[in-house]
Amino acid sequence: MDQAIYLATLVGTALVLAAAFSSLIAFRFGAPLLLLFLAIGLATGQDGLGIQFDNAPVAYFVGSLALAVILFDSGFGTPVNVLRQAGLPALTLATVGVAITAVVFGVAAHYLTHFSWLESFLLGATVASTDAAAVFFLLRAGNINLRERVRSTLEIESGSNDPIAIFLTLTLVEIIAIGVNPEAQLLFTDLVVGFFVTMGLGAAVGMLGGFAIARLVDWLNLDRGLTPIFVLTLSLLVFAAAGAIGGSGFLAVYLAGMVAGNSDIRGAAALKRFQGGMSWLAQIIMFLVLGLFATPSQFPGLLLGAITLGLFLIFIARPLAVWLCLKPFRLPSAEVAFISWVGLRGAVSILLAITPLLAGLEHGRLIFNTAFIIVLVSLFVQGWTVGPLARRLGLIVPHRAGPIEKVELELPGSAHHELLSYRVVPGSPVLRGERLPRWARPSLVVRNGGSMKFPDFGKLMAGDRVYIFVHDRYPALLDRLFTSRVDVDPEDAEFFGAFAVDPDRPASDLEAAYEPGLTEAEQKMTIGELFLSRFGGHVEYADRLNLGPIELIVRDMDEKGKITAIGLSFEPTQPQPLVPENLRERLRALFGRGDGTMSSRVSDEA
Amino acid sequence: MGFGRSGRERILGMDLSDLIEVQAIMPALKANSKKQLLQLLAERAAAITGLPEREVFDTILQRERLGSTGVGNGIAIPHGKLPGVKSITGVFARLETPVEFESLDDQPVDLVFLLLAPEGAGADHLKALSRIARVLRDPDTVAKIRGTRDAAAIHALLSDTQTSHAA
């Protein structure tokens, strides 16, 4: 018995270590890391080194728990203000988008494979949700600073679409397992009613749970080392409780994370670090287990069909769903194109594909294998191209500030202050004569190994390390003062526009100079106000406003969100069309009149 | 924003010879201030187009109020629309000593391309401005212009930047 334990642990740890090491390689080459984990699982599985693992219930159980951990972490790290900005488009994608993807894909699957209609839709449901964990890893690895709205939309979508795909899959599995062929209408009512009950219960338990987690952490004042474990356990409790009463555990745990993470929870930084680590571990374990569980020797026969389906999903089903869902929000077509492309499928799809096996469906193995290949196709094709595409579409915000050397220390017992430590770097504004605000007076300066107090240190010098106690609202401003200057890349110069425009000048001046076609009312505003009004009152750094022949770009904002500098470009970004022009025409004919928001932005250079 | 870069260059071209003539180039101008610089440019533009100097000066000054046309790296591209201009007309000055121009990067300016366009030139005007900005973004071209006091040489550099830019 002992020997078995040692052996299992040995194999398990070796696998996790191999995966962890492979992350180094992935960071180097920008390869989709999750593909690597999956590959390690496959390579050591029964068709590779020969580890026998064919236990569907265990694979599903482990995968579900891992997913719960990941979802809690991703909810915890999603700030609520992001919801305001991207919530509606993202939630539309996560609900309607998932349904459209599943249905469109299901129709194709029915004609391309031998699956029945229900089985085809089941396959569609398993691959309908996106796995953005993979994407964000890629973006981070490539040091890609994505535009905020795009990032938020993708983040919220990926966090919230899993529960819906899970719900669809489980319902379809049940229906097929019962074996009767239900009437379409009955099926539809069943789905809709079931949807609201499951999601409603999940949401209720999740919100309550998140609130409870935050309060408990505050009340109990546990040992600092224990708190993260406590929170992790509570999150799994929320997951289980919601599931036990018939709600969506996955939605519950995601929402619980979001509520807890946004509620000034004690020790948030430590919790984030811990959960980040757990999230990694969960990803690794989930992919390893799923890789081990698959049997590639069964693939060859269905390879062609599955790859075709994978490509159909990437090039038709997902873009169509995204385009339909985002149409009402009038996002720039570059953003729509990017969001379409970042429909990476991942562990959740494979996990869901196990459920037909669990239910003992006739074609369960076949469904699992097909879904598995589709995920591989997606990780290969999309995983490798996300970074370059973002660059091509101009969605990357160039870094305007150099690195800062900063350490944040959380203060025990303090509600709203933190201790920041910066190293004064050459070329930073503080050295170029910018004054530190009164509230940011350094409490201590370490210079040449000696420590000095105010006012003994006099003027700050390069190489000084300063310690500042500051209210937690202000660090962003301080970062600016301590950041080193970067030279703007020529390409970046274009990103922010070659010319400058004063946001406080009247917009009528702009009309006089360039005839962008402003309305009478708009000409009475300042240029800054014009920007705000066209953006519905909320503008962020690097936002672009297309005004016919010219384009305005937010170059800088102050900490209160007021635009302080605007760039002017005469080469409005004209992203290339997402789908071939004639196909778009046909689609438009199919779905009635287009209002031209997409077509008017299509490049005439393309 | 790397997309379509080569395509855009193919369409826009990197050749400014249609915008500027040799006699519109001032290869060693001396000016003490932004205002004086704009006045000297307006003077030369007036001589070429036959328009009143004052009108040209007011037009470009009006545009400067909207925000400096100093694009950084010592380069400025003042511009404006005038009813009396027959075609898009450029004037170029290389300054002996740089003057303060309120540029974004706070660097004083020593290379100035003034562009005047007829009322209603619309897109052509803006495309010409992008082309100028693009040509003057090429470090090679700019270094060579700074290194010469010969109007014809500067004109040649502005006209033929394809080879240097392709590198």
Residue B167: what pLDDT?
35
In this structure, the strands spanning B75-76 and B109-118 are parallel
A175 and A276 in a single domain? The answer is yes
Among A246, A152, A171, A154, CA closest to A203: A246
pLDDT band (50, 70, 90) for residue A252:
very high
Q: Is A563 helix (H, G, I), strand (E, B) or coil?
A: strand
Residue A190: what pLDDT?
77
Chain B residues in contact with A513 by the CB 8 A cut-off are 62-63, 66, 80-81
Residue A307: what pLDDT?
92
Tell if the CB–CB gap between B1 and A494 is shorter than 8 Å: yes
Residues with Cβ within 8 Å of residue A478, at least 6 apart in sequence:
A420, A422, A440, A468, A470
Chain A residues in contact with B7 by the CB 8 A cut-off are 605
Tell if the CB–CB gap between B65 and A509 is shorter than 8 Å: yes
In this complex, the residue of B8, B71, B80 whose CB is nearest that of residue A605 is: B8
Distance CA A412, CA A444 (A): 19
pLDDT over 70, % of chain B: 87
pLDDT at A443 over 80: yes
Substitution target from B126, B135, B137, B161 for chain A, most A beta carbons within 10 A: B126
pLDDT at B12 over 60: no
Chain B residues 104-143 within an 8 A CB cutoff of chain A: 104-105, 122-123, 126-127, 129-130, 133, 137
In this complex, the residue of A494, A502, A576 whose CB is nearest that of residue B66 is: A502
Q: Please give, rounded to a whole number of angstroms, the shortest distance from the CA of B4 to a CA of chain A.
A: 8
User: Which token pair is A466?
Assistant: 């300063």
Q: What is the pLDDT of residues A496-553, one digit of tens each?
A: 777 888 888 888 888 888 888 888 888 888 888 888 887 767 777 777 787 777 888 8
Chain A residues in contact with B75 by the CB 8 A cut-off are none
Please state the rounded mean pLDDT for residues A418-428. Answer: 77
Tell if the CB–CB gap between B129 and A570 is shorter than 8 Å: yes
**Greater confidence, A278 or B7?**
A278
Residue A411: what pLDDT?
64
Residue A415: what pLDDT?
59
A509 and A570 in a single domain? The answer is yes
Residue A559: what pLDDT?
64
Lowest mean pLDDT among A69-83, A220-234, A530-544: A530-544
Q: Please give, rounded to a whole number of angstroms, the shortest distance from the CA of A603 to a CA of chain B.
A: 10
**Greater confidence, B96 or A79?**
B96
Q: Chain A to chain B, count of Cβ pairs less than 8 Å apart?
A: 77
Chain A residues in contact with B4 by the CB 8 A cut-off are 574, 576, 603, 605-606
User: 């939605």: which residue's tokens?
Assistant: A251
Substitution target from A499, A502, A564 for chain B, most B beta carbons within 10 A: A499
For A388, name the nearest residue in chain B, comparing CA atoms only.
Answer: B2
Instruction: Find the domain containing A354 and state its range.
Output: 2-48+83-192+265-392
pLDDT band (50, 70, 90) for residue A236:
very high
Residue A511: what pLDDT?
85
A318 and A437 in a single domain? The answer is no
A380 and A412 in a single domain? The answer is no
The neighbour count for residue A510, using CB atoms within 10 Å, is 25
In a domain, A584, yes or no: no
**Is A490 near chain B, with CB under 8 Å?**
yes
Residues with Cβ within 8 Å of residue A129, at least 6 apart in sequence:
A98, A158, A161, A162, A164, A165, A166, A345, A348, A349, A352
Contact between residue A371 and residue A349 where contact means Cβ atoms under 8 Å apart: yes
User: Which token pair is A593?
Assistant: 């009149």
Contact between residue A241 and residue A381 where contact means Cβ atoms under 8 Å apart: no
Predicted model pTM: 0.63
In this complex, the residue of A499, A515, A571 whose CB is nearest that of residue B69 is: A499
Residue A597: what pLDDT?
37
The CATH number assigned to the domain holding A413 equals: 3.30.70.1450
Tell if the CB–CB gap between A501 and B71 is shorter than 8 Å: no
Computed on alpha carbons and rounded to an integer, the radius of gyration of chain A in Å comes to: 26
Among the three residues A440, A456, A482, which one is the final residue of a domain in this structure? A482
pLDDT at A600 over 60: no
Q: What is the pLDDT of residues A353-368, one digit of tens each?
A: 998 888 888 888 888 9
pLDDT at A447 over 80: yes
A304 and A279 in a single domain? The answer is yes
Residue A472: what pLDDT?
64
pLDDT at A205 over 90: yes
**Is A513 near chain B, with CB under 8 Å?**
yes
For B104, name the nearest residue in chain A, comparing CA atoms only.
Answer: A500
Among A358, A471, A456, CA closest to A418: A471
Distance CA A554, CA A556 (A): 6
Distance CA A431, CA A462 (A): 7
pLDDT band (50, 70, 90) for residue A182:
low
Residue A136: what pLDDT?
62
pLDDT band (50, 70, 90) for residue A319:
very high
In this complex, the residue of B67, B105, B122 whose CB is nearest that of residue A499 is: B67
In a domain, A557, yes or no: yes
Q: What is the pLDDT of residues A94-146, one digit of tens each?
A: 889 999 999 999 999 999 888 888 889 999 999 998 875 666 666 655 556 67
**Is B65 near chain A, with CB under 8 Å?**
yes
User: 């004083």: which residue's tokens?
Assistant: B108
In this complex, the residue of A394, A549, A603 whose CB is nearest that of residue B123 is: A549
Residue A178: what pLDDT?
78
In this complex, the residue of B2, B62, B127 whose CB is nearest that of residue A392 is: B2
**Is A391 near chain B, with CB under 8 Å?**
yes
Provide the annotated active-site residues of B. 79
pLDDT at A591 over 60: no
Please state the rounded mean pLDDT for residues A216-235. Answer: 86
A136 and A278 in a single domain? The answer is yes
pLDDT at A596 over 70: no
Q: Please give, rounded to a whole number of angstroms, the shortest distance from the CA of A526 to a CA of chain B.
A: 11
A17 and A89 in a single domain? The answer is yes
Q: Is the peptide bond before A475 cis (omega within 30 degrees of 0)?
A: no
In a domain, A400, yes or no: no
Tally the domains of chain A. Answer: 3
pLDDT band (50, 70, 90) for residue A203:
very high
User: Which token pair is A92?
Assistant: 């539309």
Please state the rounded mean pLDDT for residues A18-22. Answer: 77
pLDDT band (50, 70, 90) for residue A580:
very low
H helix or E strand, kind and range, residue B162: helix B162-166
ipTM of the complex, rounded to two decimals: 0.83
Distance CA A249, CA A18 (A): 31
Beta bridge partners, A467, equal A421, A444
A526 and A444 in a single domain? The answer is no
pLDDT at B146 over 80: yes
Domains (range + CATH), chain B: 18-161 (3.40.930.10)
A383 and A419 in a single domain? The answer is no
User: Which token pair is A521?
Assistant: 């009312």
A419 and A386 in a single domain? The answer is no
A560 and A445 in a single domain? The answer is no
Distance CA B6, CA A275 (A): 45
The CATH number assigned to the domain holding A297 equals: 1.20.1530
In a domain, A296, yes or no: yes
What distances in angstroms separate CA A188 from CA A128, A171, A175, B97, one per listed residue?
18, 11, 12, 78
Lowest mean pLDDT among A187-196, A480-489, B13-22: A480-489
**Is A392 near chain B, with CB under 8 Å?**
yes
pLDDT band (50, 70, 90) for residue A599:
very low
pLDDT at A589 over 70: no
Tell if the CB–CB gap between B126 and A502 is shorter than 8 Å: no
In a domain, A238, yes or no: no
In a domain, A26, yes or no: yes
The pLDDT mean for chain A works out to: 79
pLDDT at A569 over 90: no
Chain A residues in contact with B80 by the CB 8 A cut-off are 513
Q: Please give, rounded to a whole number of angstroms, the shortest distance from the CA of B143 to a CA of chain A.
A: 15
Contact between residue B88 and residue B118 where contact means Cβ atoms under 8 Å apart: yes
Q: What angle do CA A486, A490, A495 make, to 5 degrees?
A: 90
Residue A604: what pLDDT?
35
pLDDT at A474 over 80: no
In a domain, A591, yes or no: no
In a domain, A43, yes or no: yes
A292 and A388 in a single domain? The answer is yes
Residue A135: what pLDDT?
64
Tell if the CB–CB gap between B3 and A568 is shorter than 8 Å: no
